[in-house]
Amino acid sequence: MSKARVRTRAIYPGTFDPTTNGHLSLVERASCLFDEVVVAISRKPGKAVLFTYEERFEFMRAAVKQLPNKHKIKVVGFDGLLAHFVKKVKATAIIRGLRAVSDFEFEFQMALMNRKLAREAETVFLMPALSWVYLSSSIIREVARNHGDVNGMVPAIVKKALEQKFKKQTRRNAE
């Protein structure tokens, strides 16, 4: 008697403010490891964001459509504690990205807390492709705010939105 294969579902949570190619690298890597990857965008993050939830959701939704395993990827929103959401969707893993050693201490603490609150899901640390290790949403926002070129570091939809957002702010500041 053979056992039925256990399906794996990973959650990749974040604010994704905005989506970067580093985020997409992690989604793509996770989609090769798990049966399903749920990109969970925080509706009400505990920090100030540049883009609304609806904008951040649309950026990610549009971007994952370009990935090879797009049929394994779902973009959703979530509120509240990640551990509660993990239980609700019956996730087997939580994906967290590590770019540098400096990320590890915070991510390690979060992984331990999530293990305490949601034992059914294991935290899996993934690194983005080497070409994206330096990228973060905050760096992208800062470069765009100062009219630097983010081409090739973010999806086209995000690049356009950043240009529009900071063009408006520049006009307001000039008035």
For the stretch 128-165, pLDDT in tens is 888 998 899 999 999 999 999 999 999 999 999 999 99
Bridge partners of residue 40, in order along the sequence: 13, 76
Q: Return the higher-pLDDT residue of 93 and 47.
A: 93
Question: The domain at 9-133 falls in which architecture?
Answer: 3-Layer(aba) Sandwich (3.40)
Asked whether the predicted pLDDT for residue 51 surpasses 90, the reply is yes
| Residues whose CB is less than 8 angstroms from the CB of residue 80 and which lie 6 or more positions away in sequence, other chains included | none
User: Which pLDDT belongs to residue 26?
Assistant: 96
Confidence band, pLDDT 50/70/90 cuts, at residue 47: confident
pLDDT tens-digit map of 14-31: 999 999 999 999 999 999
Provide the phi-psi class of 71: left if phi over 0, else alpha when psi is between -120 and 50, else beta: alpha
What does the DSSP 8-state code read for residue 147?
A: T
Confidence band, pLDDT 50/70/90 cuts, at residue 172: low
Catalytic residue positions, numbered? 23, 47, 99, 137
Please report, for residues 7, 8, 113, the alpha-carbon distance to residue 2 in angstroms, rounded to integers and kept in the order given. 15, 18, 35
Query: pTM here?
Result: 0.89
User: Which pLDDT belongs to residue 66?
Assistant: 93
Q: Give the span between the Cα atoms of 117 and 162, in whole angstroms.
A: 37
